[in-house]
């Protein structure tokens, strides 16, 4: 029976994780403050939420879970569709592809930058809810897990769409928005899933935002459509699917 080289595996894992972190750190340093990322990651979700929230007969504090969900959706998926096309244009992305690292490290590193950016931005509505509106959080641990899984899921979606071989940021953003915008309306953020017609309920089941928003609602209110454990399992499945698809597309488009 062949022995497993644990030391070799550990060394390789350490090298791949270091590469992923280096890629994420590079994006953090260069792209976090770019105007189009600030607009798409912060102002766009805020103004969209306000447009639908104004006029609702509900205390402002009760709208915080939905605002966190939308912020995670847009901010997590905003980094890679900007950074990767720009790097294709200036030919630095070719260096990453030719570097002695795996595509898994490349995809994970790009996703990690969106993940960290999203968590930082989502802390703003979280703090507003706690400090200004005194919105109670019933289960802080569930909230942390929900934000982390939702952020990484949509960061991976951003990386997946950025695999499209173009140097034009607008092309990737246009394709991405054809997915992001419908997700808001089918995922229970503005309209409770229980109030949707049957076809709407069925479509909601294929949206990762449905499960992220469901967990965030549970963390704040103690009520949810699904079990938090089911939400976790489904979000992890979506992450694995999107990561696998992103690896395949980057390999296919850069052979």
List, for residues 205-243, the tens digit of each pLDDT value. Answer: 999 999 999 999 999 999 989 999 999 999 999 999 999
Instruction: Give residue-wise pLDDT tens across range 176-206.
Output: 989 988 888 888 888 888 888 888 889 999 9
Domain range for 42: 14-51+59-253
Cβ neighbour number for residue 102 with a 10 Å cutoff: 15
- Please report whether residue 207 resides in a domain: yes
CA dihedral sign of residues 152, 13, 104, 38: positive
- Please report whether residue 126 resides in a domain: yes
Number of domains comprising the chain: 1
- Please report whether residue 6 resides in a domain: no
- Please report whether residue 4 resides in a domain: no
Which two structure tokens, joined as six digits, stand for 38? 């600030």
The whole-model pTM stands at 0.88
- Cα dihedral 175/71/181/243 (nearest 10): 50
- Please report whether residue 81 resides in a domain: yes
* Secondary structure in 3-state letters for 237-250: HHHHHHHHHHHHHH
* Residue range 129-133: mean pLDDT, rounded: 85
Which two structure tokens, joined as six digits, stand for 57? 């007969």
- Please report whether residue 74 resides in a domain: yes
Which two structure tokens, joined as six digits, stand for 212? 């992220």
Region of 188 on the Ramachandran plot (φ > 0 left; ψ -120 to 50 alpha; else beta): left
The residues, ordered by sequence, that sit 6+ positions from 185 with a Cβ below 8 Å of its Cβ are 191
- Please report whether residue 5 resides in a domain: no
- Mean per-residue pLDDT over the chain, rounded: 85
Instruction: Give residue-wise pLDDT tens across range 132-190.
Output: 888 889 999 999 999 999 999 999 999 999 999 888 988 998 999 899 888 888 888 88
**Residue 1 pLDDT:** 46
Burial class (CB in 10 A: 0-12, 13-18, 19+), 88: middle
- Please report whether residue 109 resides in a domain: yes
């Amino acid at each position: 029976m062949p022995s497993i080289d644990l030391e070799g595996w550990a060394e390789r894992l350490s090298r791949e994780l270091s590469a992923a972190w280096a890629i994420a750190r590079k994006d953090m340093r260069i792209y976090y403050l770019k105007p189009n990322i600030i607009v798409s990651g912060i102002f766009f979700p805020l103004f969209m939420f306000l447009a639908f929230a104004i006029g609702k007969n509900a205390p402002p504090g009760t709208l915080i879970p939905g605002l966190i969900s939308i912020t995670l959706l847009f901010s997590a998926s905003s980094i890679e569709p900007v950074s990767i096309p720009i790097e294709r244009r200036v030919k630095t992305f070719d260096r990453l592809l030719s570097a002695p690292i795996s595509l898994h490290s490349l995809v994970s590193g790009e996703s990690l930058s969106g993940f960290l950016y999203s968590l930082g931005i989502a802390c703003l509505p979280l703090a507003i809810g706690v400090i200004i509106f005194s919105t109670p959080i019933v289960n802080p641990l569930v909230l942390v897990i929900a934000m982390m899984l939702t952020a990484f899921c949509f960061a991976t979606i951003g990386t997946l769409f950025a695999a499209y071989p173009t140097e034009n940021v607008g092309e990737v953003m246009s394709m991405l928005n054809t997915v992001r915008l419908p997700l808001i309306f089918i995922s229970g953020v503005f309209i409770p899933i229980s109030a949707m017609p049957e076809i709407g309920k069925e479509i909601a089941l294929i949206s990762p935002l449905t499960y992220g928003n469901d967990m965030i609602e549970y963390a704040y209110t103690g009520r949810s459509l699904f079990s938090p454990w089911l939400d976790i399992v489904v979000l992890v499945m979506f992450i694995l699917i999107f990561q696998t698809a992103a690896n395949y597309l980057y390999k296919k488009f850069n052979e």
